Structure 1
Amino acid sequence: TISFTVQFNVGGVNERLGTTGIAHLLEHMLFKGTTSVGTRNIEAELELYPWMDSAHDSLAEARARGDSVRAVELSERIVQLEDSAAVFIESNEFDHILTRAGARGLNATTTNESTVYFVDLPSNRAELWFALEADRMLNPVFREFYAERDVVAEERRMRVEMNPAGALAEAHLASAFRMHPYGVPVVGYMADLQVMSRQDVERYYRLYYGPNNAIVGIVGDLDPDQIEAWAREYFSAIPNAELPPVVTAVEPSQRGERRTELEWDAQPQLQIGWHVPAGTDPDAPSLAILSSLLTGGRTSRLYRRLVLESRAATAVFSSLGPGMQYPQLLQISATPRAPHTTMQVEELIYEELELLIQEGPTDSEMERVRNQISAGSVRRIQSNIGLAFQLVESVALFNDWRETFRYSDKLRAVTADDVMRIARTYLTRSNRTVTTLVKTENSR
């Protein structure tokens, strides 16, 4: 078996207001096929799309004017045109071709900084991946566009607008990042999704999605010379794309704590984030160890204090994010256990952080956490697909696949003094953003 990943170095940070969520929508659309895959009659199919897109533009104008009658008429017209196009479409043919070839795990994911497509294939079908990937890189057709856009809008509705945890996470990042695009959700804003057109997506795709902006990771039972030959054969004729502009926005240093409160008829939750350096910074391994010291397992400091000893919380965890290329957040999330409040849990967290800053971690804690993170890193690269992901990420972040295998050594070099230094430097009141989910008044 061979695992294939192709990462396009374009994601949420490369979008602008008005087209937020476009990279994630493109993730969906690139499974819709090409001029030769997914169609029974490409000429007849393509003839319908300008009419459909024109109706969509008129629909956006009608909604902006508040003309609900005209909006209903145009919505029905788009559905009729989509039904007409469906006659010429072989839905999910891209998926079916790979499945018949023995593929497993076909999927994709979009982050703030990249979009990754991946699949496992039998070794004797490796050339098929190159043929299909080159075809959709060069000749994609964004068929079933408006129906799929509605699917993505519904995904946002379920993940954010009807989900208290999702709403809390979105509000937290928006509060912490007021200048940097990390504050904009990868799934996009609903207002943008509802008016996004096929032309918007096609322009964005043609601008940034080319072989010069892609990293391919291939791991498994393969012949490297043959793989390189196929790569040259299938990808060399594809035109290069533009590289996304470098994100120059820098989040200004906070001049005081930021607090945001969301009311929801749901269990209260707490999220605290401190601005910390990017995942490529020399302090990144120390930050990973700090995070694991706090919430990595039942013996971690905050789990022991909040969940086991005080029983003030039912859960606590921490993370670094939402991306790695730019200065990010060290985030702590906790769910209070009734009758404890978010404020009580918050104070316990600060008490434990102060102890860590003053006394530092013990030698046994440091060894446990180093082993814990190293073991997790090893587990991630034990599968072909896991190793492919890590290699591609190392190239994207460090321009060197060897960084995948240097991480454990970097963890071993972190000292207790390093942990105390970064905790003292970054875990300050003025550098933190606090977001809480509280019960609505009428539900108390």
Structure 2
Amino acid sequence: MASMGAEGTNAFTSFEQTVYQEQIPSNVMDKYLAVQAERFRYPVLRLFHTELEAVYEEKNISLDKDNRKAVESMFSAAFPNNNYGKQTTIGTVEHLKNPSLKAIREYFHTYYVPNNMGVIMSGDFDPTEVVKKVDKAFAFMQAKEIPAYTFDAEKPILTPVVREVKGPDAEFMLMGFRFPGAATKDARMLNLMSQILTNGSAGLIDLDLVKNQKLLGAGAFPYVLKDYSLLLLQGNPGQGQSLEQVQQLLLQELAKLRKGEFSDELITAIVNNAKKDEIKQNESYGDRAESLMDAFTSGQDWASVVGYSDELNKITKQDVVDFANKYLNDNNYVVVYKRKGVDNNVVKVVKPEITPVTVNRDDQSDFLKKVEALPEDKIQPVWVDYNKDIQKATANGLPVLAVKNSDNELFSLSYRFDGGKWSNKLLSLAAGYLEFLGTKDKSSEQFSKDFYQLASDFSVSAGNEETMVSISGLNSNFIATQNLIQDLLRNCVADQEAFKMYIARLKKARANAKENKGAIMEGLKSYAKYGAKNPFNNVFTDAELDALKAEDLVKALHDLANMKHTMLYFGPLTAAEFVAKAKPLKQGAGEYIPAKKAVVFAELPTSKNQVLFANFEMKQAEVFWYRSSGVYSSALTPTVSLFNNYFGGGMGSIVFQTIRESKALAYSTYAYYGQPYKKENHYTVGAYVGTQADKFNDAIKGMNELLDVLPESAKGLDIAKVSLEKSIASERVLNASIVGSYLAAERLGKAT
């Protein structure tokens, strides 16, 4: 697959789907179908025992994930009669101890039949021709009857079912209500109802619990499956809150839903946002294919999927209230409390003794030679020409970079400011505080409702060296959306109560981060790169937070509006049309406020070996290698890309084949030579292994050997070159990504 220029080669299994994924250049369709057809004709399981070991790893990873344990407990309690709850996707430890190759082959011959399969493609090709090619490639397959899956219907839940799991992560709780399956109208009503509860802006939970900061986090999400669906509610407690208190707050929101304590306008806004989301989804080949895949595997009629927003238009508030009262009450749910503590029930999969598989990188089968001999049309690369593809202009005395959207009516606009957290630590805090602010004339809640009613989004984010204020939505609402963000940013006023709760939630989030292994690893990596004074700990202490005033953060936001910036626009307007409609963010006359001088974090040279440890209660060991390398040089870019393709990127790389496929030392592993963010920075060498604790020593040794002496494979290098060439030829930098590409090139001194 690598020699075809394939990317994203992967597979996954869920409750009722097994999916094999590829992203391929359209000119290798014949080769791709030849390989896939042969794979499904008679698979050779030569990597069975090492891949089984990788599954052991995946199982142990799942035992270290509190969130996964909570979800599995939820499904077990909600579906005692269905395989959704009777078994997990990956299986139990006992399932994995004695797998049978014979049983696997029987499973393959039973279920891998054409009447149980779908070939789903989305891309730049002629559908009629591709269908003919698929028919020809898979003509050998014979349809046969598939065993029907039967189960006893679940009994109604008459009293809350309570489950509890423990682990080192911060506490949270889940609630689940059972609903009918994907092909029913009720499943589509469930999607609407969940949006009334949570839509990220103006849902009942969004406004009552998140914006009012009654909880650290909360939301409602539909989990739609073929036989049944679930409405999942999740809540994260604030400082001093119990999980039972979280549960009661969420039940209160469901009571409001049943009473109809929401506006008719909210349903209209949900419909508008659904239509916008459909437009955005259709921009991506991957999203289109995923939508088709979900409909196929869950048995949904495609007409109902594409007609979803039209169906929503016909639903009334009373329909929602009746639906909520039918399925939701104070007793018919499962609740899972994820408490902090030691899980004494976890039994990890013990590492078996295995013989490494010899990786035959330079050997070629007759079948491979036959596939490579198949003709393919050459795809010509399409290069971005920044002088042609980006329209440059000036609006209100400030630079504009504009790319016209000729495909649909969506727009995005970002105000990009030089200076971020390294210039002013208040910016990051202020960006988060803005979510809870309004003006003298409009409340924070009303701003959220107004943005959502327009099917528009806004965000303010402070990076290390730049800050972005962004809006997006439908072009017809561009002016209204622009007016909203400018009003909020320029005229926001301090809210003392919101500030007090905001500081408390920041402290709680920090405490939770100390119980999150991902956050801990990021801290270690930052320490390795910069030393004790690093961007990760460039934050206010709790005492400094207590000394801050709400007015300090509001001033930072007002000052931001009065700083020089660049406008980055993507939408249906030309640059000239945008300039005519763009209103100045700065209020009043006078000079722009300059950005504060940034703190300098110097990258440390890696002059000697050093080991940084962080202890965490888990079954896995995660190891990251870091090294600072040379200063950026554009001349090295082709070499760096080829090295990464050959050595550490993807399933065909040296690292993956050696660490996982040959030696089964890790489920997840990779390595790379990292390009710097800007030309003044250094390249970095990074490598990672996530492994069982009892394979820690072997995994360390295996990766060190690869990093010390680069294995040579002439054929592997040739494949890496061809793969990279085809990837470059088929890559298309489009839409808003053109501006992002320009800015990245500019940081590296390459933009023209």
Question: Could you tell me which residue of structure 1 aligns to residue 14 of structure 2?
Answer: 111
Q: Retained in 2: the 8 A contact 1:217–1:392?
A: yes
Matching residue of 1:394: 295
1:253 corresponds to which residue? 156
2:657 alignment partner in structure 1: none
Q: Match for residue 351 of structure 1?
A: 252
Give yes or no for contact 2:9–2:22 (8 Å, CA) kept in 1: yes
The question of 1:129 aligning with 2:44 is answered no
> Aligned partners of 2:116, 2:318: CA distance in 1, in Å?
40
Seen in structure 2, the aligned counterparts of structure 1 residues 255 and 289 have a Cα distance that, compared at 3 Å, is same
Instruction: Tell me what 2:233 maps to.
Output: 332
Residues 1:158 and 2:158 are matched in the alignment: no
Encode CA deviations 1:191-224: one digit per residue, 9 max, x unaligned: 2112212222122111111222101122222233
2:279 matched to 1:378?
yes
Any residues of structure 2 matched to 1:45-124 within 5 Å, and which?
98-124=1-27
Note the C-alpha offset of 1:107.
2.0
Q: Does residue 302 of structure 2 align to residue 414 of structure 1?
A: no
122, 133, 144: which is aligned to 1:219? 122
Contact 1:286–1:418 (8 Å) recurs in 2: no
- Displacement of 1:155 in angstroms is 1.0
Asked if 1:189 corresponds to 2:72, the answer is no
Separation of aligned partners in 2, 1:426 and 1:401: 26
Q: Does the residue aligned with 2:121 lie in a helix, a strand or coil?
A: strand
Whether the 8 Å CA contact 1:213–1:241 is kept in 2: the answer is no
Deviation of 1:291 after TM superposition, in Å, equals 0.6
**Matched residues in 2 for 1:102 and 1:403: separation?**
36
Tell me, in whole angstroms, the C-alpha distance in 2 between the residues paired with 1:437 and 1:392. Answer: 32
Q: In the aligned structure 2, how far is the partner of 1:335 from the partner of 1:279?
A: 28
Q: Secondary structure at the match of 1:313?
A: coil
C-alpha contact (below 8 Å) 1:279/1:324 kept by paired residues: yes
Residue 289 of structure 1 deviates from its aligned partner by: 1.2
Q: 1:398 offset after TM fit, Å? A: 4.5
Task: Report the CA distance shift for 1:399/1:276 in structure 2 as closer, same or farther (over 3 A).
Answer: closer
- Contact kept, 8 Å, 1:276 with 1:426, in 2: the verdict is yes
Partner Cα distance (1:328, 1:273) in 2: 10
Bigger helix fraction: 1
User: What secondary structure, in the 3-state scheme, does the structure 2 residue paired with 1:215 have?
Assistant: coil
Q: Distance in 2 between matches of 1:263 and 1:232?
A: 51
Question: Would you say the 8 A contact 2:15–2:84 is kept in 1?
Answer: yes
2:310 maps to a residue whose letter is: D
User: Taking structure 1 as reference, are residues 100 and 259 closer, same or farther at Cα in structure 2, changes over 3 Å only?
Assistant: same
CA contact (8 A) 1:360 1:416 kept: no
* Matched positions, count: 343
In 2, Cα distance between equivalents of 1:332 and 1:230 = 45
1:168 aligns with 2:70: yes
Gaps of 5+ in 2: 344-514, 516-752
Identity fraction in percent: 26
Structure 1 residue 378: Cα displacement: 3.3
3-state SS of 1:411 partner: helix
Counterpart check, 1:141 vs 2:44: yes
Task: Show the 5 A alignment for 1:292-303.
Answer: 292-303=195-206
Taking CA–CA contacts closer than 8 Å with sequence separation of 6 or more, which of the two structures ends up with the larger relative contact order? Answer: 1
The alpha-carbon distance between structure 1 residues 119 and 163, as it changes in their structure 2 partners (threshold 3 A), is same
Contact 2:204 2:262 in 1 (8 A): no
SS of aligned partner of 1:285: helix
**Distance in 2 of aligned mates of 1:338 and 1:284:** 36
Give the AA of the match of 2:88. Answer: P
Matched, 1:231 2:134: yes
Q: Which residue of 2 aligns with 1:179?
A: 81
SS of the aligned residue for 1:272 comes to strand
Tell me the CA shift for residue 400 of structure 1. 4.4
Equivalent residue letter for 2:190: L
2:189 equivalent in structure 1 = 286
Q: Show the counterpart of 1:368.
A: 269
> How far apart, in 1, do the equivalents of 2:278 and 2:238 lie?
32
Contact 2:182–2:300 (CA<8 Å) still a contact in 1? no
Q: 1:266-311 deviations in whole A, cap 9, x for unaligned? A: 31111000111112111222211111111210322112222221x3
Q: Structure 2: which amino acid aligns with 1:238?
A: M
TM-fit CA distance, 1:435: 0.8
Moved more, 141-150 or 217-226: 217-226
Asked if 1:318 is matched to 2:220, the reply is: yes
Cα distance in structure 2, aligned partners of 1:167 and 1:395: 28
Contact 1:391 1:404 in 2 (8 A): no
Residues in 2 aligned to 1:209 and 1:106: alpha-carbon distance in whole angstroms: 19
- Report SS of the residue matched to 2:12: strand
Shift of 1:244: 3.8
CA contact (8 A) 1:179 1:250 kept: yes
Superposed displacement of residue 318, structure 1: 2.1
CA distance in 2, matches of 1:294, 1:194: 43
Structure 1: state its 5+ residue gaps: 1-97
CA distance in 1, matches of 2:276, 2:150: 34
Displacement of 1:138: 0.7
CA distance in 1, matches of 2:214, 2:205: 11
1:123 positional shift: 1.9
Distance 2:301 2:337 in 1: 40
Match of 1:271 in 2: 174
Please give the root-mean-square deviation of Cα atoms over the aligned residues, in Å.
Answer: 2.2
Deviation at 1:168, TM superposition (A): 0.8
Secondary structure of the 1:131 match is helix
Q: Secondary structure at the match of 1:172?
A: helix
Note the C-alpha offset of 1:441: 8.8
Aligned to 1:209: 112
Instruction: Tell me: CA distance 1:379–1:191, structure 2 relative to 1, closer, same or farther (3 Å).
Output: farther
Task: Give 1:198's aligned residue.
Answer: 101
**Structure 2 counterpart SS, 1:157:** helix
Go from structure 1 to structure 2 and tell me whether the alpha carbon gap of 1:147 and 1:398 turns closer, same or farther (over 3 Å shift): closer
2:118 is paired with a residue whose SS is strand
Q: Do the aligned residues in 2 keep the contact of 1:285 with 1:414 (CA within 8 Å)?
A: no
Deviation at 1:113, TM superposition (A): 1.0
Match of 2:504 in 1: none
Residues 174 and 399 of structure 1: CA distance in aligned 2, closer, same or farther (over 3 Å): closer
The one-letter amino acid paired with 1:176 is A
Instruction: Name the TM-score, length of structure 2 as normaliser.
Output: 0.44
Q: CA deviation at 1:167?
A: 0.9
SS at match of 2:119: strand
Q: Which moved more, 1:137-146 or 1:378-387?
A: 378-387
Shift of 1:396: 4.0
Maintained 8 Å contact 1:107/1:117: yes
SS across alignment from 2:154: coil
